[in-house]
Amino acid sequence: MRLTSYLFAFSTLALGAELKIPFEKYTLKNGLRVILSRDSGAPVVAVYLIYDVGARAEEKGRSGFAHLFEHMMFQGSKNAPKGMHFKTVEANGGDLNGSTHPDFTDYFETLPSNKLPVALWLESDRMRELNITAENLANQKEAVKEERRMRVDNQPYALGIVDLFPELVFRNWSNSHSIIGSFEDLNAAGVDDVSRFFKTYYAPNNAVLVVAGDLNPAEARKWIDVYFSDIPSQPRPKRPDLAEPTQTESRWKKHSDKLAQVPALAVAWPGPKRRSPDYNALVMLDAVLTAGPSSRFALNLVKGKESLVSYEANLSWPFGSANDYRDPGVYGIWVMHKPQFTARQVVDQVSGEIQRIAKEGVPEKELARVRAYVESARIREVQSMQRRAALLGQYEVFDGDAGLVNTELGMLAKVTDKQIQDVAGRYFPEARRSVLEVAPEPKKEAK
């Protein structure tokens, strides 16, 4: 969770109460799972299409393929030439985007509700037949390279976070390679490679379509059937082996960053199995440490010791959150700190806050505040139709259960002080800790 992610607001529900997000789910004959969630609070509708493929599905020599393909999906399709997707959505008063993650890729549009068929047609057309040409591929290779230059190579801290941090905390190549990929692998990709990737992963039976907002379910079903039902399914792709060896020794890597202004640290420990009791307890431990101005890090490290400038943390940091965490993964913490404190001192302070919980637990009054904070943050989140659609789609892909959007808060509210104390003691030994130290490059003295 981020230091400034949320403003505290009191929940309108009793603590531990379940949300009641209405939705219905069904599956087309080609395997496409469809989720409809009606909310007529505003005349808008969000269309969210999530494909069960991310960077961890890539093969050696093809790093960056998932991200490259996200770009290719905006290069035109059979009936929607290049540029038409953006122009059509924006001309109809909407916005759109896509994103690539370790374990999924998603695409989304938000439009006035009477324009729902427009978004459905556009998404179905590129799922059906993407315009994969040598010209489009060459163009997007250069676009990805330029994105890397701008967002990674020439941004402070980005190289360490995107490339060096995964290499430090993971040993399996599927988990450790860069999500953006290398120039060499991008250059080696051909049209046949891209076509094979599209056929394998961008099939209806490897996707979930969510429509949330001011919709008529019967009409939405009709349009979805018209546009998507005759797209052929494909054999389900084989899951990569993501298993990691047990970490038995601490790891520490120092990276000199010529663009950084203040020192920073990325600290991580291996995380739990998704949806296990330990997973729920670690979500709540993270909230105790980082959620809001009354969190342990805010009170004890930002204000108390005055060592931290900023922080963020999460299961699945830096590429996701607990919502889309898939094991094997890490609980990661990112802190920027004042230069008068050494990296060792700050790591000891961060670890010390966790160990204090392992020894003393969390007082019930503090835990009640954290529960209220987590609940109010989720309530505000699902008020956005795009975020509601994303949660429904991600829970369906990762858990096979979109209904978690309603029941998850109840599970988190039942996490006890003892459970939080237990995971704080078991998951954070120094021998399983990895630290990436990012140090500003010393400034050269002017002649």
Strands (E), 230-307: 251-257, 264-270
Task: Answer yes or no: do 85 and 192 share one domain.
Answer: yes
Same domain, 154 and 257: no
In this prediction, residue 5 has a pLDDT band, given cuts at 50, 70 and 90, of very low
Q: Are residues 202 and 280 in the same domain?
A: no
Residue 163 lies in a domain: yes
Strands laid side by side in the 264-270 sheet? 251-257, 434-440, 264-270, 330-337, 308-315
Residues 206 and 255 in one domain: no
Q: What pLDDT, in 10s, does the model give residues 118-138?
A: 999 999 999 999 999 999 999
Answer yes or no: is 243 within a domain: no
| 98-111: pLDDT as tens digits | 999 999 999 999 99
pLDDT of residue 6: 29
Regarding whether 220 and 301 lie in a shared domain, the answer is: no
Render the burial of 354-372: b for 16+ CB within 10 Å, e for the rest: bbebbeebbeeeebebbbb
Q: What is the mean pLDDT of the chain?
A: 94
At 282, the amino acid letter reads: L
Do residue 30 and residue 157 come from a single domain?
A: yes
Question: Which pLDDT band, with edges at 50, 70 and 90, does 442 fall under?
Answer: confident
What global pTM score does this model have?
A: 0.94
Q: Are residues 302 and 177 in the same domain?
A: no
Provide the pLDDT confidence category of residue 11 given band limits of 50, 70 and 90. very low
Quote the number of domains for the chain. 2
CATH code, domain with 318:
3.30.830.10
pLDDT for position 73: 96
**Radius of gyration for the alpha carbons in the chain, expressed in angstroms and rounded:** 23
**Would residue 352 count as lying in a domain?**
yes
218 & 261 share domain: no
Q: What is the mean pLDDT of residues 335-344?
A: 98
Residue 255 lies in a domain: yes
Position 1 scores a pLDDT of 43
Query: Looking at residues 335-358, what average pLDDT do you find?
Result: 98
**Residues 139-150: tens digit of each pLDDT:** 999 999 999 999
What local confidence, expressed as pLDDT, does residue 96 receive? 97
Fill in the DSSP letter of residue 304: I
Helix or strand run (H / E) with residue 36: strand 33-38
In a domain, 16, yes or no: no
| pLDDT of the residue at 48 | 98
Handedness of CA 382, 387, 390, 391 (dihedral sign): negative
The pLDDT score that the predictor gives to residue 443 is 74
In a domain, 447, yes or no: no
pLDDT at residue 16, rounded to an integer: 54
Whether 10 shows a pLDDT value over 60: the answer reads no
Domain that holds residue 112: 24-228
95 pLDDT above the threshold of 80: yes
